Amino acid sequence: MMTFPTTTSSSRKPSRSDVNQRAWPVLEAPAAWRCIDVISDLHLDADHPQTFLAWHHYLRHSPAQAIFILGDLFEVWVGDDAITLEPQGFEARCVRTLHKAANQRDIFFLHGNRDFLIGEAFAQSCGVRLLEDPTVLQFAGRRWLLSHGDAMCLADTAYQEFRSQVRSADWQRPFLAQPLLQRRAAARDLRARSEMRKQQHQGWVDLDTAAVRQALELADADTLIHGHTHQPADHRLEPGLRRIVLSDWDMHAQPPRGEILRIDAEGRHHRVGVHHPPAPPA
Query: Which residues form the interface with Mn ion (CB under 5 A)?
Result: 72, 112-113, 228
- Nearer CB in complex with Mn ion: 132/222: 132
- Least Å distance, CB 230 to Mn ion, is 8
- Least Å distance, CB 282 to Mn ion, is 36
- Least Å distance, CB 115 to Mn ion, is 9
- Least Å distance, CB 104 to Mn ion, is 27
- Least Å distance, CB 16 to Mn ion, is 33
Helix H, strand E, coil C: the string for the chain is CCCCCCCCCCCCCCCHHHHHHCCCCEEECCCCCCEEEEECCCCECCCCHHHHHHHHHHHHHCCCCEEEECCCCECCCCCCCHHHHCCCCHHHHHHHHHHHHHHHCEEEECCCCCCCCCCHHHHHHHCCEECCCCEEEEECCEEEEECCCHHHCCCCHHHHHHHHHHCCHHHHHHHHHCCHHHHHHHHHHHHHHHHHHHHHHCCCCCCCHHHHHHHHHHHCCCEEEECCCCCCEEEEECCCEEEEECCCCECCCCCCECEEEEEECCCCEEEEECCCCCCCCC
Find the residue with minimal CB distance to Mn ion: 228
CA distance 3 to 154: 10
- Least Å distance, CB 149 to Mn ion, is 7
- Nearer CB in complex with Mn ion: 43/269: 43
- Nearer CB in complex with Mn ion: 172/231: 231
- Nearer CB in complex with Mn ion: 35/245: 245
- Nearer CB in complex with Mn ion: 37/72: 72
- Nearer CB in complex with Mn ion: 228/243: 228
- Least Å distance, CB 43 to Mn ion, is 8
- Nearer CB in complex with Mn ion: 107/153: 153
- Using the Cα atoms of residue 4, residue 205, residue 231 and residue 54 in order, give the sign of their dihedral: positive
- Nearer CB in complex with Mn ion: 35/118: 118
- Least Å distance, CB 227 to Mn ion, is 6
Closest CA relative to residue 37, chosen from 276, 262, 266: 262
CA distance 23 to 94: 33
Largest CA distance in the chain: 64
